[in-house]
Amino acid sequence: MFRRLDADAGDISFRFNDTEIVARQGDSVAAALLAAGLCAIRATPVTGASRAPYCMMGVCFDCLVEIDGVGNRQACLIPARNGMIVRRQTGARDLL
């Protein structure tokens, strides 16, 4: 979907589900996922529809992911860090 204007791939690495994602210093988690070719990073709790980052500035909450065990984090606002464990949120959350 996206390419970088220069060759520098970055030296940060984190996991998104079972995939290793390489990111640059200063990338948000959402930017890093898009740069890695991922787009639909979430399925809605209501109908399970696929969603992707929409506004990239903290307004739409369509980039929500679980980061290091905490759900509903805004991937577009959180900087990518080495060793992060990022997980996809799929459908409604299990209450039990």
Partner 1 sequence: MRDIWDVVVIGAGPAGLAAATTLAEQGASVILFDENLGPGGQVYRGIEQTASHPSLRAALGADYASGGALADRFRRSTAAYLPASLVWQVTPDREVWVSCDGASTRMQAGQVIVATGAMERPVPVPGWTLPGVMTVGALQTLLKSASMVPDVPFVLTGSGPLLLLFAQQCLKVGAPPAAILDTTTRTNAIAAARLLPAAMKGQGWRYLLKGLALKRALRESAIRQYSHVTGIRIEGTDHATGVSFHANGQAHRIDAAIVALHEGVIPAQQMARSIGCAFSWNDRQACFVPDTDAWGNSSMPGILIAGDGAGIGGAIAAEHSGRLTAFEALRRLSRIDAAGRDTLAAADLRARNAHLAVRDFLDQLYAPPPEILAPADDVLVCRCEEITAGELREVARQGCQGPNQAKSFLRTGMGPCQGRLCGPIVSAVLAQAHNVGMDDIGYFRIRPPLKPITVGEIAEMGGRLIDA
The contact set with partner 1 (CB under 8 A) reads 1-6, 24, 26-28, 31-32, 34-35, 39-40, 44, 46-47, 49-62, 64, 70, 72-74, 77-79
CB of 47 to partner 1, least distance (A): 6
Q: Output the CA torsion sign for 52, 54, 55, 61.
A: negative
Nearest-approach distance from CB 15 to partner 1, in angstroms: 19
- Give whichever of 15 and 71 is closer to partner 1, judged by the CB atom: 71
Least Å distance, CB 20 to partner 1, is: 18
What pairing do the DSSP bridges indicate for beta strands 70-74 and 64-67?
antiparallel
Amino acid at 26: G
Give CA torsion, residues 17, 34, 58, 8, to 10 deg: 110
